[in-house]
Structure 1
Amino acid sequence: MKTLPVFPLNTVLFPDGLLPLRIFETRYIDMVRECMRGGGDGFVVVRIGQGSETSPAAEFAALGTRAEIIDWEQRPDGLLGILACGRERVRILGHRQRPDGLILGDTESVPEWPALDLPLEYASLAGLLERLLDQLGTPWSHLERRLQDSAWVAGRLIELLPLELDIKQSLLEEDDPLERLRRLRAAMLRTPDP
Structure 2
Amino acid sequence: MDLRIFERRYLDLVRDCGRSASGFGVCLILEGDEAGAPAIPAAYGVEARIENFDLGEDGLLSLRVRGHRRFHVVRTRVRDNGLVMADVEWRCADEDGEIRPEHALLGTLLQAMMEKVGTDLAKLPPRVFEHAGWVGWRLAQVLPITPEQRVSLLQEDDVHARLQRLLEWID
TM range (shorter): 0.7 to 0.9
Where does residue 13 of structure 2 map in the other structure?
31
The Cα of 1:142 is off from its aligned counterpart by 7.6
Where does residue 68 of structure 1 map in the other structure?
49
CA gap of 1:132–1:21, structure 2 versus 1, over 3 A, is farther
Query: Please, which runs of 5 or more residues in structure 2 have no aligned partner?
Result: none
- TM-align CA RMSD: 2.1
- Distance in 2, matches of 1:55 and 1:159, equals 26
Where does residue 75 of structure 2 map in the other structure?
94
The Cα of 1:136 is off from its aligned counterpart by 5.7
Relative to the length of structure 2, the TM-score reads 0.88
The one of 167, 171, 177 aligned to 2:159? 177
Helix, strand or coil at the partner of 1:77: coil
Does the 8 Å contact 2:136/2:159 carry over to 1? yes
Identity across matched positions, percent: 35
The Cα of 1:78 is off from its aligned counterpart by 2.1
1:2-45: CA deviations, max 9, x gaps?
Answer: xxxxxxxxxxxxxxxxx111112111112112212321x21011
1:56-106: CA deviations, max 9, x gaps?
Answer: 331111111111101112122322111111111111111111111111111
Q: Higher relative CO (CA 8 A, sep ≥ 6), structure 1 or 2?
A: 1
Which of the pair has more CA radius of gyration?
2
Query: Size of the alignment, in residue pairs?
Result: 169
The Cα of 1:143 is off from its aligned counterpart by 7.5
After superposing on structure 2, the runs of 4+ consecutive aligned residues of structure 1 that deviate more than 3 Å are: 131-134, 140-145
The Cα of 1:123 is off from its aligned counterpart by 2.5
